[in-house]
Amino acid sequence: MDKLIITCAITGAETTKAHNKAVPYTVKEMVDEAKSAFKAGASIIHLHARYDDGTPTQDKSRYKKIITAILKECPDLIIQVSTGGAVGMSVEERSDVLNLKPEMATLDCGTLNFGGDEIFINTENNIIYFAEKMDDLKIKYEMECFEKGHIDMTKRLIKKGIIKPPYHYSFVLGVNGGMIGEERDFLFLKDSIPSNASYSVAGIGKYEFSLAELAIKHGGHVRVGLEDNIYLEKGILAKSNAELVEKVVKIAKKYNREIANTSETRKILKMEE
């Protein structure tokens, strides 16, 4: 069984300081949260950019400022930028950050109802556009799937040669409009991906740690962070992203899963090929 890769989604586009004051907005806050999560055991930081007032943005200049500041403190850290952005952003706006040629980025693999009138749109042509741009720029992509149909879409695009190996998935479960995060849902997705693919699991809200434990038991990898869940346990707000990472590390020890460092993460995900 591979060592455990921990990704930390430090801020997102939806959670705010009104939900939990530890959610970072400023460059300094982003650096502090990324650095402490890295020290706690995260080898990948999943990054959304925000302005100082918390407004989400895909502006590459803001991303560049944040990424440069983080890597100054943690030079070997893997930064995985979001191409999801926020609901309502155009494909061009969402893809702007790819022009920075980050080491890694997310590839959203289907449309989703986010609740109310919010629709997170990812058409087949959108997915092809992002995949081809990432391939051209030699950016490692992680395929974000919120339900089984998204996995089926990736398999069709793999068959067409549009999505290229090595294949790495992220199951994002518990989002309003997507699959919930019960064990049956996790197992269904895990058993649906190509046999030569790796995967990580991001449980939203109450599903964060139960899904983390399932992924650890079954040889997968884990994403946690204040983007996905603001509580350390029921009714107790997390004081930092690092606290969430530390809890995963404790769960991993129960199953004798060692934690992958950044070099080991790159090897496991075949990022250096």
155-200 pLDDT tens trace: 999 999 999 999 999 999 999 999 999 999 999 999 999 999 999 9
> What's the pLDDT tens digit per position in 166-175?
999 999 999 9
Tell me how crowded residue 235 is: count the other CB atoms within 10 A of its CB.
6
- The pLDDT of residue 116 is 87
Query: Percent of the chain beyond pLDDT 70?
Result: 100
**Cα 254 to Cα 38, 106, 257, distances in angstroms:** 21, 30, 8
Q: Which CATH number fits domain 6-268: 3.30.450.20, 3.20.20.70, 3.40.50.970, 3.60.21.10?
A: 3.20.20.70
> What's the pLDDT tens digit per position in 99-111?
999 999 999 999 9
Query: Percent of the chain beyond pLDDT 90?
Result: 95
**14 secondary structure, DSSP code:** S
Q: How confident is the model at residue 255 (pLDDT cuts 50, 70, 90)?
A: very high
Average pLDDT over residues 62-90: 95
In 41-174, where does DSSP find H-type helix? 60-73, 91-95, 124-136, 148-159
User: For residues 212 and 251, is the Cβ–Cβ distance under 8 A?
Assistant: yes
| pLDDT at residue 115 is higher than 90 | no
| pLDDT at residue 78 is higher than 70 | yes
Total-model pTM: 0.97
Annotated domain spans of the chain: 6-268
> What's the pLDDT tens digit per position in 198-208?
999 999 999 99
Provide φ and ψ at 185, rounded to 5°. Answer: -70, -45
The 3-state DSSP class for residue 158 equals helix
| pLDDT at residue 273 is higher than 70 | no
> What's the pLDDT tens digit per position in 122-145?
999 999 999 999 999 999 999 999
Q: How confident is the model at residue 36 (pLDDT cuts 50, 70, 90)?
A: very high
| pLDDT at residue 272 is higher than 90 | no
